[in-house]
Structure 1
Amino acid sequence: MLQYRAEVTAAVTLTTGGGLRAEGLRVDVPHADVTTAEIEAILVRSLGLRDVERVELTAVRVFGEKPPVAGEPGPPRTTFVELSHVIQAGMTTYPDLPALVISAHLTWEDSRSRYAEGTSFSMERIEMVGQTGTYLDTPRHRYEGGTDLAGMPLERLADLPAVVVRAVGGGRRAITTDDLEPLTVAGHAVLLHTGHDRHWGTPAYAQDAPYLTGEAAALLVERGAALVGIDSVNLDDSSAASAGERPAHTVLLAANIPIVEHLTGLENLPPRGARFTAAPPRVTAMGTFPVRAYAQVPFHEPHDHTRSAGWLPQ
């Protein structure tokens, strides 16, 4: 007998003003013909949520699988969490940089004369600077002759254990050594969660932005961090008060530690336990390029055998 599950992309809004988002979330369902309303009710119940105002399911996949044999461990289960901003025509990511342009190189209509009847294709052209969307900085971004995109080893970009540094609220901008001192970061992607991504696409995104101090960056180098990311406009202080200095970039990229800027959704990750990936194309003689940044978060099975959605934001 098959056991049925639903895999969903969901957004839950709470009456308290909070909420949560999840991709690849799986819940047990009673049969293959389960309705959307039934899945929503099961989702709320299985997560133990209260004060739910609305549940939106944007993707649903119902499937059946054989239940595991008693005494045998089941396959590991993870959910994927999107950490990248959407890239679209006309957008600018960093102040005063040119906007991205997407145009048609070949339209479906123009291609019809080149292929068999009923067959057509489109090809698009994109014009942009490397600092577009959520992107990765390599040493070449800061240092002439530094490692470029093609030279970055995958071990520094993919499937890294992540440690999330909470630095939301409090009215301060600088992330300092005090925030990092208690953490074990060797071999980890250190992701700085400031909450500043809520201003994405507005003038406020470039104003009073949180940043990492040079001393804190030096501590991450000393302790062997593999990668550093932030959900802000720049890892360094980019205000006029900085006088153009970029100590965090200088220290980290000198140590071949890549930087990911303009992350989003870090509130959906646990402090530890996620695996982080942000890999760009292998482009020579270029130091910065957009990435599809994401994390894999493990599910945890409670001892009472009810289904868990893995880590949820508090």
Structure 2
Amino acid sequence: MKIVDLSRELYHRTPSYPGHPPVVHGVWKTHEESFAESGNVHGLASMFISMVDHAGTHIDAPRHFGESGISIDQYPLEKCIVPGICIDLRHIAPRAEISPADLEAAVAKAGVAVPKGGTVLLCTGHHERTFPRKEYSSDNSGVNIAATEWLAQQGVVHFGIDSMRPGPEGKVNALVHKACLDLDITHIESLCNLEALLGRGQFTFIGLPMKWRGGTASPIRAVAVFDM
């Protein structure tokens, strides 16, 4: 078995979506402080973290798209361990819309079918090109509404992308979110290391969310698992 980590590292003030609060990560208690308070032979260190539920690599809950959608604690875990493929879209220009024709051509080039009940990960190269510079939060390419509909028609439960939003910045991105609710799919944002999956065929994607009551999203540890 080979596991490829597709998750962004979380750290103090890691880049966050424009308008969202920053990730705050700090020391709550050091080993020395714990030992002084309790006399524990080793001392027990701990840290704290404060963040929006859309921090880092995360999956959006349908609740994020509209009040009729389910929250992340209700999202079926069966949809979090699914077959997946990764397609190469690195030739798409920054800020451009990814069309159904682009997806069809990339799937054909990958030489592997879109798995029904699975996921498609879109390697745009955006994370590799821009992270952690300011362009990471604005210059991504992304799917348009027609491409989102095309993905849903293939029978996926979600799709993922290596940027902070599924569509290009602006109105199209907002409409892609609404389309996901209408199509009963969702998406995963801020993936990384997708380049390591290209040309390797189908894998098992795992991305389990935390059980946040009423949550609109959750950070996940996204991985691709290959049978060796």
TM-score band w.r.t. shorter chain: 0.7 to 0.9
What is the aligned partner in structure 2 of residue 266 from structure 1?
194
Query: 1:238 and 1:227 mapped to 2: Cα distance?
Result: 20
1:169 to 91, 104, 125: 91
Looking at secondary structure, tell me which structure has more strand per residue.
1
> Which has the larger Rg?
1
Runs of 5+ consecutive residues of structure 2 not aligned to the other structure: none
Query: 2:70 and 2:217 mapped to 1: Cα distance?
Result: 11
Which TM-score applies when normalising by structure 1? 0.64
Q: Report SS of the residue matched to 1:280.
A: coil
Letter in 2 for 1:142: F
Q: Greater relative contact order (Cα 8 A, min sep 6): structure 1 or 2?
A: 2
1:288 to 198, 217, 222: 217
What is the aligned partner in structure 2 of residue 38 from structure 1?
none
Letter in 1 for 2:79: R
Counting matched residue pairs gives 218
Matches within 5 A, 1:1-314: 78-113=1-36, 115-158=38-81, 160-171=82-93, 173-181=96-104, 183-198=113-128, 199-239=130-170, 242=171, 246-271=174-199, 272-299=201-228
Letter in 2 for 1:149: I
Instruction: Report percent identity of matched pairs.
Output: 27
Query: CA contact under 8 A between 1:83 and 1:265: conserved in structure 2?
Result: yes
Letter in 2 for 1:164: C
Query: CA contact under 8 A between 1:210 and 1:237: conserved in structure 2?
Result: yes
Q: Report SS of the residue matched to 1:246.
A: helix
Letter in 1 for 2:57: T
Shift of 1:116: 4.9
Query: 1:231 and 1:104 mapped to 2: Cα distance?
Result: 30
Change (3 A) 1:222 1:170: closer
Looking at secondary structure, tell me which structure has more helix per residue.
2
Which TM-score applies when normalising by structure 2? 0.87
